[in-house]
Structure 1
Amino acid sequence: MSLVLGTAVATADDQPLPPGPPLHHVQYTVFAETPFRNSEIYYRAVDPPNWADYSHNPYEFSPNVEADVGPNQMWTMDVMLANPDQWAMVTAGSLDSPKRPNFHCVIAVDGNVVVTNEGPKGALCSIRNW
């Protein structure tokens, strides 16, 4: 029987990462007063590293989905953001449709509603004044 003993060597990969900024639970909600199919919704999914990266390609940080919404059919999305005061944003619209479903958007951060908005053909909710 043989026994092999060795000394463990720590590498940079073994070191814990320094903690990042605390993340906040952000919930986006969109609905309309009358049913509307395929509404265009954009929302901020992640914090951009800086304004330059965001302005170079905002769609990299803002996914687009199409969703059916109505008074009893809400679209919601939960994301985690380090700086929601800077980056939390959701917008919904009816594009070129002549319909006016009166969209509503809501942003809640850590369980508290912080902004709402509405509009006949679209709505934009953002904590930051863009």
Structure 2
Amino acid sequence: MRNTATRVSTVAAVVGAAMTAALLGPVPAHADDPVLHHVKYTVGASQPINAEIYYRDTQPPNFGEYSHNPYQYSPKAVAELGPGKPWVLEATLADPQDWAMVVATKNGHDPELAAPGFVCELRVDDIVVATDSGTKGVLCSLRTW
């Protein structure tokens, strides 16, 4: 009799847990959730310069949305760069392979500063995945299109 009572209480516990789960609703499948990646953009210059920096910190839902209005997804920052004075931005993207991007150029025309010595670095999940350097501008990106 004792064995039967133990089985009945075990079955009751399992049925109770199943009913509770059914009342709470479906649990979202974690396998369907996108993996988010930490993206870090760093732009610098070897000489003081006022720079325009376009970057992507928000991922568009698809390429069509992006192509209709790329500047909605690529905001611009104006930053004073120089030795020991980089511009840094951190973002979270689900698909940095296609969407992580930073580009920098001189802001305006300054004939006295022809080569500010731009540099950029793109990190994804704390791994350097792209670098660039240039006299007039730089582009750090992984995109394949």
Aligned to 2:46: 33
Q: CA RMSD in A?
A: 1.8
Q: Provide the C-alpha distance between the structure 1 equivalents of 2:58 and 2:133, rounded to a whole number of angstroms.
A: 24
Q: What is the deviation of 1:16?
A: 6.2
Counterpart mapping for 1:107-118 below 5 A: 107-118=122-133
Q: Provide the C-alpha distance between the structure 2 equivalents of 1:59 and 1:16, rounded to a whole number of angstroms.
A: 37
Q: Which structure carries more strand by proportion?
A: 1
Match of 2:117 among 95, 102, 114: 102
Counterpart mapping for 1:20-59 below 5 A: 20-37=33-50, 39-59=51-71
Aligned to 1:85: 97
Q: What is the deviation of 1:15?
A: 6.7
Residues 57-76 of structure 1: per-residue CA shift (max 9 Å, x gap): 01111111101111210110
Residue 78 of structure 2 contacts residue 107 of structure 2 at CA under 8 Å; is this kept in 1?
no
Q: What is the deviation of 1:47?
A: 1.2
Q: Provide the C-alpha distance between the structure 1 equivalents of 2:79 and 2:27, rounded to a whole number of angstroms.
A: 40
Q: What is the deviation of 1:18?
A: 5.5
Pick closer, same or farther for the CA change 1:68–1:52 going to 2, 3 Å.
same
Unaligned ranges ≥5, structure 1: 1-9
User: Larger deviation: 79-88 or 15-24?
Assistant: 15-24
Could you state the TM-score of these two structures normalised by the residue count of structure 2? 0.74
Give identity over the alignment, percent.
47
Pick closer, same or farther for the CA change 1:57–1:18 going to 2, 3 Å.
farther
Larger radius of gyration: 2
Q: Provide the C-alpha distance between the structure 2 equivalents of 1:101 and 1:129, rounded to a whole number of angstroms.
A: 28
Pick closer, same or farther for the CA change 1:60–1:18 going to 2, 3 Å.
farther
Aligned to 2:7: none
Pick closer, same or farther for the CA change 1:78–1:119 going to 2, 3 Å.
same
Q: Provide the C-alpha distance between the structure 2 equivalents of 1:95 and 1:121, rounded to a whole number of angstroms.
A: 11
Residues 5-61 of structure 1: per-residue CA shift (max 9 Å, x gap): xxxxx79xx876655201000000000011112x10010011111110001001111
Number of equivalences: 118
Could you state the TM-score of these two structures normalised by the residue count of structure 1? 0.82
Pick closer, same or farther for the CA change 1:31–1:50 going to 2, 3 Å.
same
